[in-house]
């Protein structure tokens, strides 16, 4: 099974959690795309849902697939969100933000009753190594990068990229990354949010090359 088929299989499995009448968080990225398309198929067959998009890209794809888009401010809770990840560790902690949508993704995840992560086997790791995306305001971004450097990171500006919120992304290399870094990074003036998602995923659906699809629940 190739990578795209693994992504599609994981996404289709995850969509089983979507039921008629739900408010559904729509993730961003190459795997979440398959979930949006599958939800669109279900809508065309008569299911009614309201989607809360985590990016302009996902909103556009959802509308194209006939999914009604809602404003997150109008709903106290989101029933289920289906999203991807750049890396997933054994505790179901995540690194997200490779696509640059980490701020909206984290807001939506925090408002969700259930956060379902879909991925192929390459994303499941024992130790994080994917550069940590940190969203920062444009004003003084070099000084923000200096503060990240003082914490042991090697930040690199994502050139030519601006988030949907009008901010920059610093992709940060590191030697070690522990759960406590999420709050420490966010305490730096100029940081909007970072791509460490700690204790936010409820279940990960991972597709493997051999055709298996595994569900891992957070303990």
Cβ atoms of 96 and 85 closer than 8 Å: yes
b/e per residue 50-67 (b: at least 16 CB within 10 A)? bbbbbbebbbebbeebeb
Closest CA to 28 of 54, 59, 64: 54
Which strand (E) or helix (H) includes residue 142?
helix 141-150
Give CA 76 to chain center in angstroms. Answer: 20
Instruction: For residue 105, indicate whether it is catalytic.
Output: yes
Closest CA to 163 of 104, 88, 115, 117: 104
By CB neighbour count within 10 A (0-12 exposed, 13-18 middle, 19+ buried), where does 166 fall?
Answer: exposed
The DSSP letter of residue 139 is T
Which strand (E) or helix (H) includes residue 109?
helix 102-110
Please identify which of the residues 105, 115, 135, 193 carries the catalytic annotation: 105
How many CA atoms are closer than 13 Å to the CA of 74, on its beta-carbon side?
7
Active site residues: 105
């Amino acid at each position: 099974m190739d990578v795209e088929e693994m992504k599609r299989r994981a996404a289709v499995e995850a969509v089983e959690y979507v039921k008629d009448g739900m408010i559904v968080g729509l993730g961003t990225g190459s795997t979440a795309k398959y979930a949006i398309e599958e939800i669109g198929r279900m809508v065309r067959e008569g299911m009614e849902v309201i989607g809360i998009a985590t990016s302009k890209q996902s909103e556009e794809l959802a509308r194209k697939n006939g999914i009604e888009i809602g404003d997150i401010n109008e709903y106290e809770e989101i029933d289920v969100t289906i999203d991807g990840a750049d890396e997933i560790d054994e505790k179901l902690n995540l690194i997200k933000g490779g696509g640059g949508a980490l701020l909206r993704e984290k807001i939506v995840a925090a408002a969700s009753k259930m956060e379902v992560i879909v991925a192929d086997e390459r994303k499941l790791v024992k130790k994080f190594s994917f550069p940590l995306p940190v969203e920062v305001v444009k004003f003084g971004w070099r000084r923000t990068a200096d503060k990240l450097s003082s914490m042991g990171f090697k930040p690199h500006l994502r050139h030519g990229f601006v988030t949907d919120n009008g901010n920059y992304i610093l992709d940060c290399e590191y030697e070690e990354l522990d759960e406590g870094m999420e709050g420490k990074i966010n305490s730096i003036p100029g940081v909007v949010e970072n791509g460490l998602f700690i204790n936010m995923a409820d279940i990960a659906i991972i597709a493997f090359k051999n055709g298996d699809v595994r569900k891992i629940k957070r303990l």
